[in-house]
Amino acid sequence: MSSEKEKILVLDFGGQYDMLIARRVRELHVFSEVVPYDSVTVDDIRNGGYSGIIFTGGPNSVEDEGSPRCDREVLSLGIPVLGICYGHQLMAYLEGGRIVGSAGGEYGKVELISSGKGIFKDVPEKSICWMSHNDVVKDVPEGFSVTAETADCACAAMVNEKRKLYGVQFHPEVTHTQFGKTILKNFVFDVCGCKGERTTEDIVSSTVSECREKIGDGRALCALSGGVDSSVAAALLNRAIGDRLICVFVDHGLLRKDEAELVENTFRPILGDNFIRVNAAERFLKRLKGVTEPEKKRKIIGEEFIRTFEDVSHKLGRVDYLVQGTIYPDVIESGKGDASTIKSHHNVGGLPSVIDFDGIIEPLRMLFKDEVRSVGRCLSLPPELIERQPFPGPGLAIRVLGEVTEEKLSVLREADAVFREEMIKGGQNEKAAQYFAVLTDSKSVGVKGDARSYGLTVVLRAVTTDDFMTAEFARVPYEILEKASNRITDQISGVTRVVYDITGKPPATVEWE
């Protein structure tokens, strides 16, 4: 448990937006921590110094046998509680309300009619909320009253003001809920009494102290990819242990065009002999030969990263800890507790069960991307590094559908470089949070040089988001897409078709694999 002065406990029942709830609370400069419902006792919560508790969503039906439930006593500790989606239903269930399945459920953007009181202060009577549920609270418990509804959900929100218990069927944490931030702000400040005094400087100070204490007189090897996360992690560890930190950049042959040289040219002048580049393309591609299943790709790459770092560690003499730039979205998408695994990240779900280090240090594990960038600015890292686009650890292996070969990688590198260049020329690089190309394993008929051709299909993908937990496709002007398409099909042999992905997250993920 954290010793923060103000903190909100996010009690995790396995929903996919759980970490996003914590992020929204932290945006209010109040610390929040996510704890699985079955790993904390009532006494832990009672003595934890929490200002408030939030019950998360979850994939289960609350009345199903074996569904995740906390002790009812949590609702009687005198600590304000907000239940979201499954958490709303669980609160009603524990207090004697009735939960039933609804015909077809509610999904997506829905009009909400709310009271304008309590946590709905400063929320218009009619607004848009984000729903994702099958069950509903049919009868509210004794002492509760309904404070919001939708066309298909008579109890979209409820409250017991005397006991400071609040429930909402929708998801205020996602950006699709128009006044979700206002609702959470009202709960955290007005109901829980928090002041919001936590700063980025506090995060840096506490993280550096924790890392210094854990490592002691030991040495650490940082897995440096050159991306935002690993670079900020390296800067934090450098502040904590100085030259006892060694940064290793593994060129696994799955990087974008010219990226390996960019990383080396950026970091070697800063780190000198403490920057090590390992050219490991051959060993990674050998392991990936014949592999087509996305999860297997990720796990192979995750294991091969670890084995490569172990090899470097052995050559250097004993290195005690491995440092990774793991962040919150990595953790949640790799699955935890009762949550579903969306995809294993190479540095989380892709890790082998046995590693030859005393431990793994992940200084950013509890942070979202925007928080990581804030920490980077606090550490005075250069803006061009802090604002770099996210790039997945498995690299282009998860943007090449099907088997990964050097030939396919070469095609994808060129297509990706063209698209990124046209996005920058057109001024769209600052509007899209991430943009890249994907090489599919499907072919289609085309015409090149007045002759029939049968070539590959490239997908262009660009999204807008502020948290990478939800995202919308970027409205890239047709002129830019047309230029990119023409250049890709003209300049790259074997590509006959270019398409643009207009799917949001959910239902898709940002990456294709």
Domains of the chain by residue range: 7-191, 200-386, 405-500
Query: For this structure, is 192 an active site residue?
Result: no
pLDDT for position 367: 86
Q: Does residue 347 surpass a pLDDT of 80?
A: no
Report helix, strand or coil for 507: coil
**Which CATH number among 3.40.50.12780, 3.40.50.2000, 3.40.30.10, 3.40.50.880 corresponds to the domain 7-191?**
3.40.50.880
Residue type, 54: I
Residue type, 159: V
* Angle, helices 200-215/369-378, rounded to nearest 10 degrees: 80
Mean pLDDT over each residue of the chain, to the nearest integer: 90
pLDDT for position 175: 86
pLDDT for position 2: 57
pLDDT for position 350: 45
Task: Give every CB contact of residue 272 below 8 A, 6+ residues apart in sequence.
Answer: none
Q: Please give the C-alpha separations between residue 442 and each of 314, 417, 459, 498, in angstroms, as whole numbers.
A: 43, 21, 11, 12
pLDDT tier at 270, thresholds 50, 70, 90? confident
Characterize the bridge pairing of strands 321-323 and 472-473.
unpaired
Cα distance between residue 417 and residue 143, in whole Å: 61
CATH code at 200-386: 3.40.50.620
**Of residues 85, 155, 192, 222, which has the active-site annotation?**
85
* Model confidence, pTM: 0.69
Which of these, 112, 230, 125, 236, lies nearest to 169 by C-alpha position? 112
Q: Does residue 355 surpass a pLDDT of 80?
A: no
Do the domains 405-500 and 7-191 match in fold? no
pLDDT tier at 344, thresholds 50, 70, 90? very low
Residues 360-385: what's their mean pLDDT?
89
Q: Per the omega criterion (within 30 degrees of 0), is the bond before 507 cis?
A: yes
- Which residue is it, tokens 């470089």? 417
Task: Give every CB contact of residue 317 below 8 A, 6+ residues apart in sequence.
Answer: none
Q: Does residue 152 surpass a pLDDT of 70?
A: yes
pLDDT tier at 389, thresholds 50, 70, 90? confident
Quote the percentage of the chain above a pLDDT of 70.
93
Cα distance between residue 371 and residue 390, in whole Å: 14
The DSSP H or E segment spanning 463 is strand 451-464
pLDDT tier at 341, thresholds 50, 70, 90? very low
Q: Which two tokens stand for residue 391?
A: 């790039």
Query: For this structure, is 153 an active site residue?
Result: no
**Of residues 6, 27, 95, 173, which has the active-site annotation?**
173
199: left (phi over 0), alpha (psi -120 to 50) or beta: beta
Query: For this structure, is 194 an active site residue?
Result: no
**Of residues 171, 176, 345, 346, which has the active-site annotation?**
171
Q: Does residue 113 surpass a pLDDT of 60?
A: yes
pLDDT in tens, 458-498: 999 999 987 677 889 999 999 999 999 999 999 998 899 99
Torsion angle defined by CA atoms of residues 162, 163, 168 and 171, in that order, rounded to the nearest 10 degrees: 130
pLDDT for position 55: 98
pLDDT for position 453: 79
User: Domain 405-500 class?
Assistant: alpha beta
pLDDT for position 328: 73
What is the dihedral sign for C-alpha 75, 79, 81, 87? negative
Residues 383-406: what's their mean pLDDT?
89
Beta bridge partners of 492: none
pLDDT for position 135: 92
Residue type, 341: T
pLDDT in tens, 44-98: 999 999 999 999 999 889 988 889 999 999 999 999 999 999 999 999 999 999 9
The full DSSP string for 64-116 is: STT-----GGGGGSS--EEEETHHHHHHHHHTT-EEEEEEEEEEEEEEEEE-S
Q: Does residue 114 surpass a pLDDT of 90?
A: yes
Q: Which two tokens stand for residue 394?
A: 């498995």
Q: Residue 209, class by beta-carbon neighbours within 10 Å (0-12 exposed, 13-18 middle, 19+ buried)? A: exposed
